[in-house]
């Protein structure tokens, strides 16, 4: 069975500090992973996907199949990065399996 | 474009009552989904509809039924609500192609069952 683990429910960092949100997965197939974000009073939205290998809002995430991880990183956190972040695994035809989420707070 | 809309925004039910959550999208997407979000549990897929005319169970379908009324609309029905169904319900939609497409989410419905 698939599993997505986000070990930190809450994460606080100071503005300008590096931030890393952890995500580990377990899946028997070829994994496709995503990060979704929910800002305060906004809808859940896609932040980035591993196959795109892109940087969005300064965030990057690398899929490490050996460690079964897909950690989200940003070198310098900004106050507007405060949000709820969900790691998600594609398990079937367009079906996503979500982790439990990490609430990031960036302290001014 | 309104994107994905959900009604109602809030609802309080008594145990045993029934209700239908409505979802509509105006993006001409083929696939639609219903999730529930409980504290500490993340989002869990209840039902999905890969295309008009088809529906399939997700991870937590018990106690729910769905109807894909047309390409735009996908409703979720609770026939006999239970306190365990207190949750925030999200509808989402995406295009259906051979490769994954982004899911677009609605604003959510907060349901309390007393």
What does the pLDDT profile of chain A (108 residues) look like in tens digits? 789 999 999 999 999 999 999 999 999 888 889 999 999 989 999 999 887 778 889 999 989 999 999 999 999 999 999 999 999 998 875 688 999 999 999 999
| Residue B96: per-residue pLDDT | 66
| Residue B90: per-residue pLDDT | 97
Is residue A74 within 8 A of residue A53, CB to CB? The reply is no
Distance from C-alpha of A33 to C-alpha of A25, rounded to nearest angstrom: 9
Is residue B47 within 8 A of residue B64, CB to CB? The reply is yes
User: For the ranges A4-13, B21-30, B37-46, B96-105, which has the lowest average pLDDT?
Assistant: B96-105
Q: How many beta-carbon pairs below 8 A join chains A and B?
A: 49
Other CB atoms within 10 Å distance of the CB of residue A9: 11
| Residue A6: per-residue pLDDT | 97
Which pair of structure tokens corresponds to residue A42?
Answer: 């906004």
**Residues of chain B numbered 74-93 and touching chain A (CB < 8 Å):** 90
Query: Got the DSSP string for B47-99?
Result: EEESSTT--EE-S--TT-EEEE-SSSBEEEEESS--GGG-EEEEEEEE--SSS
Q: How far is B72 from chain A (nearest CA, A)?
A: 18
Q: What is the mean pLDDT of residues B16-41?
A: 94
What residues does B68 pair with on adjacent strands? B74
Other CB atoms within 10 Å distance of the CB of residue A29: 10
Q: Has residue B70 got a pLDDT over 60?
A: yes
| Residue B7: per-residue pLDDT | 96
* Model pLDDT for residues B36-69, shown as the tens digit of each residue: 999 878 899 999 998 888 999 999 999 999 999 8
**Residues of chain A numbered 35-94 and touching chain B (CB < 8 Å):** 43-46, 49, 86, 90, 93-94
Determine the 3-state secondary structure of B82 from DSSP: coil
Q: How far is A45 from chain B (nearest CA, A)?
A: 7
According to DSSP, residue A68 is labeled T
């Amino acid at each position: 069975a698939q599993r997505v683990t986000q070990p930190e429910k809450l994460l606080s960092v100071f503005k300008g500090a590096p931030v890393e949100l952890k995500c580990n997965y377990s899946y028997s197939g070829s994994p496709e992973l995503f990060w979704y974000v929910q800002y305060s009073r906004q809808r859940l939205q896609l932040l980035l996907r591993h196959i795109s290998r892109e940087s969005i809002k300064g965030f990057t995430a690398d899929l490490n199949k050996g460690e079964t991880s897909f950690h989200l990183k940003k070198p310098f956190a900004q106050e507007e990065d405060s949000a709820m972040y969900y790691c998600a695994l594609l398990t079937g035809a367009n079906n996503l399996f979500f982790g439990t989420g990490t609430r990031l707070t960036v302290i001014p | 474009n309104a994107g994905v809309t959900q009604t109602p925004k809030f609802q309080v039910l008594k145990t045993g009552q029934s209700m239908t959550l409505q979802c509509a999208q105006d993006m001409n997407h083929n696939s639609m989904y219903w999730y529930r979000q409980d504290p500490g549990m993340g989002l869990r897929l209840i039902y999905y509809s890969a295309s008009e005319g088809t529906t399939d169970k997700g991870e937590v379908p018990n106690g729910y039924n769905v109807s894909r009324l047309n390409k735009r609309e996908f409703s979720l029905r609770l026939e006999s609500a239970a306190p365990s169904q207190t949750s925030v319900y999200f509808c989402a939609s995406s295009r259906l192609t051979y490769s994954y497409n982004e899911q677009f989410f609605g604003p959510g419905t907060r349901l309390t069952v007393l």
